[in-house]
Structure 1
Amino acid sequence: MFRVLFALIVLLRCCNAGAQDADGQDPIARLKSMRSKGEWDSMRIVAVRLLNELPGSPSAARYEAEWHLALAVGMNDDPLGAIEHAQKAWLIARDMRDTVRILGSLYQLTKFNVEGRHYEEADRFRREHLALARGYGRDTIQHVLALNSMGSMFSRIERPDSEEYCYREGLRLLGDRTHIVKQALLGNLASTLSARGEHSEAAQLHEQVLAELDSTDLHNKAWTLSNLGRSLLYAKRYTEAIAAFDTGDSLNAASGNALDLAIDLAELRAECLEAMGDITGAYAMIRRARDLQDTLFDRSMNEQLLELETKFGTQLKEEEIARLDAEAREREERLRVRNVQLYGSLVLAVLALGAMLLVWRNLRQKRKYSATLEKLNTELGEQKSHIEEIDRLLQLKVLRTQMNPHFIYNSLNAIHNLVRKGEAVAASAYLDGFARLLRMVLDHSVKERVPLADEIAFLRQYLKLEAMRFQDGLDYLVDADRALHDDEDLLVPTLLVQPFVENAVWHGLAPKQGERKLTVRFAMRGEQVVCTVEDNGVGRNAAPKRAHPDGSASLGLQLTNERLQLLAFKLGDTGRVKFTDRWKAGCRRVRG
């Protein structure tokens, strides 16, 4: 998190440090002013207007317009569009043979290719950026930026020695100079050393970052204190770590209370308290982290709903504007035709041929109006379909938020019982697994589909926790055919299988005496992925006699069926759920 944050700061403030206003035009000054204020939408409009007004030949003004347009598009989460304009800016700078602007564009291309997950292209631009900056030799900052970018590449491909060299070489070139890229280098080097277990030196580097940060930059100070506390924790300097976490929490509260940072601080403080033997305090911090995660999840859902409502409202406004424009044009056209007919009647006796031409023209205009109205009706039909699609998406998101909370309540009770019995190791293991499962639920719940490997990992983590709650244990297997494992692009609906697994555990296996077995397997049948959930439980005939664990009515399978139908409708496919009784005990559930 620290490394990504500083990379973004460096890009915004340093990437185009050498780009100067060559011709002094007011639009360029406006673009730079909007960039400093973060007015991305206005900056995009001004840049597009400037590009339309400028000649197509390479110039400093055209470069600045393309560069700022790329930045504005990128800040609106459109890396592909940003890459297109950054590429144009780079070509202009190359035609102008302006090394400083070429360096700025190369850094921009690296950033947007990373955001678009085009890592091979990003690595190619990184190497070109470093070679040009090193050969140019007159811009130390660009040289250091290139080294920091190369360090990020080596981190991704797991070459820690090369990564460390890049960061240390960048710091050596900077020397005693004060520049924001120094903060990024120090933070990235600290992360590299922490990954290698050198936590004390990493803590010293984080302290240097704190010294470099502006005293008013409370948000970044809070993140830096979080990273400092993490290094102190792993260096077993627990008291200092707690102090860093407390200070970071205070600064975060003063700077807007970022929920992701608050969650990290609570989880780290829980880990530190557990290491110090304060199980009660650790449990309280885990509960706080869970509450913050719930708040973050609710806020994320509200933001998504607000975004959909905003888009829907904007669409309705655009439709209303289009309708009013069409009516105005139609009124103007009727007035013009009426005038033409009036003047034509005055000369009808003299210009019979003119009258015939006028009639022909009127017929042509009527055909044109008919075609226009037909096109408008077609567009309205398409817009209606789009609105219905948005409504289906909203229904789908609402269904995904209706997760039965009894598993969470039971897990907390299990942790409480273990702590009360004095089984600290078991409680800690259960707590870690529970926190990991909640994080998976949080990450997956905001996505419509996830890779099959992620879904399998989630099911295994869930069954691992359920197995810990059975005194006699639970034998389980979650796997997929090799062909599905090899398909990295395969996506499955998020959290769709878990209700069936939970149903098998608590209605089939929980009341069973003796060995309990559960198998979940994904297979490809034709063009469809089939998931089979099989158990050796008491069977469906015996299962209804047992009440739900929390006394509530089970809606999980009903909601999952509705969600599966919505997904199938959206994707234009078919999906179904099939229950099959085994020969003896147990039940098999098959989802198509």
Structure 2
Amino acid sequence: MLKLGVYYRSRNFDTARYFYQRALEESQHHGYARGMVAAYAGAGVTYGMEGEYPQAIIHFEKALAKARESNIPDLVFNQYNSLGIVYKRLGDYPRSYEWYNKAMALADSLQDPLKIADNQFSIAVLHDMMDEPDKALTLLRESLKNYTKAGRPVMSNIYNSIGVILAKANNYDSALHYYFIALEMDRKVDKKEAELIVMNNIGNAYRKTKRYKEAEKILLDALHEAEKVRLNQAKADILYNLSKTYVAQRQTDLALEYALKMLDLSKSLGSFLQIGEAYEVLSHIFEQKQDNTTALKYYKDFKAYQDSLFNQNKTKEFKTQQTMFDVYKKDQELAKQELELTYLNEKALLDKKWKFMLKASSALLLFTLLLLYQRYRHRLRHNELLKSKNAVIVSQKQHIEEMNETLEKRMLRAQMNPHFIFNSLSSIQHFVTVNDKASALKYLTKFSNLLRSVLETSTGVQVTLAEEIELIKIYLELESLRFDNEFKYEIKVDQRLDIYNLEIPLLLIQPYIENAILHGLLPSAKEDKLLNVTFEATDNAMRVSIEDNGIGRKAAQVIKEKKGYKKQSLGMSVTQKRLEMLEKNKDTTAAVTVADLYRDNGEPEGTRIIINIPQPINGES
């Protein structure tokens, strides 16, 4: 059953889990502890391959508990390592390091050099991911010594990993030494995929040290081998290095030939990263050919795929954080279930004792008093257990909040205003804290719609005016909900504007609207706070008016100075640069005009911002 589980987990996850469940039931029936541990662990690996990390952790912890209960050290070691791997994939490096250290302590106590070597390699990879190359190199070299001590052939990927770390530090001669050792080992055991990876690394090192002919030779050999065994992923990497080598030698025709092959292959693989790399190389090639128009076209394609890859990574990070939240939520649920089970067991025990006491005679009064005292002691222990579990839950909640703050910091480079995203997350947290589920759900739905709309349009530089207006509407709904409908707003659109064909840069207007809300309307004591956003057509341009009846610029500046705000708004400066770029090849100047509004008696009445956007009207090119 276990072998069938291993066979099917790379083919069909559900079938693999079925066989692991069968193996678990058979092992439980026969009391076979190793079989039970292997079944739990196999199911954990299957869930991990499927990306279901909370379930993977649950099954690895069950395997660990059984291995400990049965006192099987080698299986305990394996589960420590497995949990370290899962938390590493989740990006929770501290918890990953904690599990790896437990595995190392156990391997040291067993004095098993092979287990020590395996664990040192795992920790070295973790240090490399945490940008700690010196620690990674030290552990990799110690791992080599322990593999030799254990009498086991050294894994070639250790030598290759050392070479990669040295190459990152520009120590290419030493890197090449380790690459060639790895290459010789891979060729002896006919590990073709690993061999091609090392050959590509060697070619890259030769290229970096300007040994172009040597780089060209080994990369062409690697390309020939990749085509024979149909390893397309390795082939795409080799084509990239090969085209870069010819670019460095200014052999533009050969560079163009291999770059175009890489582009076609990357598109068939659906690899955004490699498609972007191909566009970047093609931009350099046509720049060498002095074909600036084509070079610019490929550069724009490269930036578009780079932005798309960035957003994919952000989405992936968000999903990873959500998965980690699910893990901690599962931990809390398990803790709660354990408490409930303890309570039910104690309650059943007490019921049984009370029935016994009802049947006892008055002569057993002393015994009854002893039982009551025992019950009191049980409850004391139960309360202590509850306090302990609650402390763990509070600690986990604080950890989740810290992860949320980290996520918010990582989103600073995203296209939306990071300050708005942080405030939105805080608003959602506030609604959840006060148990206002309806407001939390409403706010979260609108916030996710805005995020999805931005991500769906982020691969392009321009969006239609209709899409921009829809994003602004969602944004205003969020801000209105966030500030308890403290202000009203109106959006007016000139009927002469063809909003479905007219295009403007994504989220160009939003920073000015946000500025009007935060610094104009919110500080105002008025009850009828109003924001008007108007889109109207002019000759070869579009005029956007943002008008508020807030406190005015002078009063807003006084508030800013009191609060210690000295830096210019990054969103406003970036938007000004985007407007300046729109002036190219246009007859109309892009401009932003800010006017202070006053009442008849000279008191401030608000602010009006006029944005003049150069733009062909009604879909003209």
Normalised by the size of structure 1, how large is the TM-score? 0.53
Aligned to 1:158: 170
Aligned to 1:441: none
Aligned to 2:239: 225
Aligned to 1:239: 253
- Aligned AA (1:161): D
Deviation, structure 1 residue 106 = 5.6
Deviation per CA, 1:419-471: give whole Å up to 9, x if none: xxxxxxxxxxxxxxxxxxxxxxxxxxxxxxxxxxxxxxxxxxxxxxxxxxxxx
Moved more, 349-358 or 118-127: 118-127
User: Is the Cα–Cα contact under 8 Å of residues 44 and 60 in structure 2 kept in the other structure?
Assistant: no
Q: Does 1:306 align with 2:319?
A: yes
User: Is the Cα–Cα contact under 8 Å of residues 193 and 199 in structure 1 kept in the other structure?
Assistant: yes
Deviation per CA, 1:208-250: give whole Å up to 9, x if none: 2223336343222222222222212222222322232222223
Cα separation, 1, equivalents of 2:611 and 2:201: 50
Q: Does 1:80 align with 2:94?
A: no
Cα separation, 2, equivalents of 1:271 and 1:385: 49
Cα separation, 1, equivalents of 2:169 and 2:65: 41
Aligned to 2:137: 123
Number of corresponding residues = 404
User: Is the Cα–Cα contact under 8 Å of residues 44 and 73 in structure 1 kept in the other structure?
Assistant: no
Q: 1:82 to 1:200 in 2, by over 3 A?
A: farther
Cα separation, 1, equivalents of 2:177 and 2:256: 32
Q: 1:76 to 1:185 in 2, by over 3 A?
A: same
Q: Does 1:268 align with 2:281?
A: yes
Q: 1:91 to 1:344 in 2, by over 3 A?
A: closer
User: Is the Cα–Cα contact under 8 Å of residues 267 and 285 in structure 1 kept in the other structure?
Assistant: yes
Aligned to 2:264: 250
Deviation, structure 1 residue 124 = 3.1
Q: 1:207 to 1:540 in 2, by over 3 A?
A: farther
Q: 1:67 to 1:367 in 2, by over 3 A?
A: closer
Instruction: Give the alignment of 1:360-509 within 5 angstroms.
Output: 360-371=373-384, 401-403=415-417, 498-499=570-571
Q: 1:188 to 1:365 in 2, by over 3 A?
A: closer
Cα separation, 2, equivalents of 1:336 and 1:377: 25
- Aligned AA (1:230): K
- Aligned AA (2:245): S
Cα separation, 2, equivalents of 1:182 and 1:374: 56
User: Is the Cα–Cα contact under 8 Å of residues 348 and 355 in structure 1 kept in the other structure?
Assistant: no
Q: Does 1:293 align with 2:306?
A: yes
Q: 1:119 to 1:215 in 2, by over 3 A?
A: same
Deviation, structure 1 residue 319 = 3.8
Instruction: Give the alignment of 1:187-202 within 5 angstroms.
Output: 187-202=200-215
Deviation per CA, 1:84-130: give whole Å up to 9, x if none: 2664576478x45x6x7776566555434433444333333444566
User: Is the Cα–Cα contact under 8 Å of residues 144 and 154 in structure 2 kept in the other structure?
Assistant: no
User: Is the Cα–Cα contact under 8 Å of residues 594 and 609 in structure 2 kept in the other structure?
Assistant: no
Cα separation, 1, equivalents of 2:251 and 2:378: 84
Q: 1:277 to 1:269 in 2, by over 3 A?
A: same
Deviation, structure 1 residue 353 = 1.5
Cα separation, 2, equivalents of 1:336 and 1:132: 54
User: Is the Cα–Cα contact under 8 Å of residues 594 and 608 in structure 2 kept in the other structure?
Assistant: no
Correspondence for 1:343 among 356, 359, 370: 356
Cα separation, 2, equivalents of 1:327 and 1:253: 54
RMSD: 5.1
Cα separation, 2, equivalents of 1:64 and 1:384: 29
- Aligned AA (1:297): F
User: Is the Cα–Cα contact under 8 Å of residues 54 and 62 in structure 1 kept in the other structure?
Assistant: no
User: Is the Cα–Cα contact under 8 Å of residues 60 and 82 in structure 2 kept in the other structure?
Assistant: yes
Q: 1:318 to 1:103 in 2, by over 3 A?
A: closer
Cα separation, 2, equivalents of 1:282 and 1:128: 48
Deviation per CA, 1:56-110: give whole Å up to 9, x if none: 87xx7777666666656655544624652664576478x45x6x77765665554
Cα separation, 1, equivalents of 2:343 and 2:169: 62
Cα separation, 2, equivalents of 1:66 and 1:387: 23
Secondary structure of the equivalent of 2:362?
A: coil
Secondary structure of the equivalent of 1:158?
A: coil
User: Is the Cα–Cα contact under 8 Å of residues 83 and 112 in structure 1 kept in the other structure?
Assistant: no
Cα separation, 2, equivalents of 1:550 and 1:382: 51
Q: 1:70 to 1:303 in 2, by over 3 A?
A: closer
Q: 1:199 to 1:86 in 2, by over 3 A?
A: farther
Aligned to 2:25: none
Correspondence for 1:48 among 64, 69, 72: 64
Cα separation, 1, equivalents of 2:613 and 2:183: 59
Cα separation, 1, equivalents of 2:224 and 2:122: 28
Q: 1:48 to 1:369 in 2, by over 3 A?
A: closer
Cα separation, 1, equivalents of 2:124 and 2:169: 16
Deviation, structure 1 residue 194 = 0.8
Deviation, structure 1 residue 159 = 3.4
Q: 1:117 to 1:330 in 2, by over 3 A?
A: same
Identical aligned pairs, as a percentage?
A: 15
- Aligned AA (1:162): S
- Aligned AA (1:52): R
Q: 1:105 to 1:36 in 2, by over 3 A?
A: farther
- Aligned AA (2:276): I
User: Is the Cα–Cα contact under 8 Å of residues 239 and 262 in structure 2 kept in the other structure?
Assistant: yes
User: Is the Cα–Cα contact under 8 Å of residues 267 and 289 in structure 1 kept in the other structure?
Assistant: yes
Instruction: Give the alignment of 1:326-341 within 5 angstroms.
Output: 326-341=339-354
Aligned to 1:111: 125
Q: Does 1:354 align with 2:354?
A: no
Normalised by the size of structure 2, how large is the TM-score? 0.51
Cα separation, 2, equivalents of 1:27 and 1:359: 41
- Aligned AA (1:355): T
Cα separation, 2, equivalents of 1:149 and 1:383: 35
Cα separation, 2, equivalents of 1:130 and 1:63: 20
Aligned to 2:217: 204
Secondary structure of the equivalent of 1:359?
A: helix
Q: 1:265 to 1:496 in 2, by over 3 A?
A: farther
Aligned to 1:588: none
Q: What residue ranges of structure 2 are gaps of 5+ in the alignment?
A: 1-33, 419-453, 463-566, 580-592, 597-606, 616-621
Cα separation, 1, equivalents of 2:383 and 2:115: 53
Cα separation, 2, equivalents of 1:122 and 1:198: 28
User: Is the Cα–Cα contact under 8 Å of residues 348 and 354 in structure 1 kept in the other structure?
Assistant: no
Deviation, structure 1 residue 386 = 6.1
User: Is the Cα–Cα contact under 8 Å of residues 172 and 205 in structure 2 kept in the other structure?
Assistant: yes
User: Is the Cα–Cα contact under 8 Å of residues 66 and 89 in structure 1 kept in the other structure?
Assistant: no
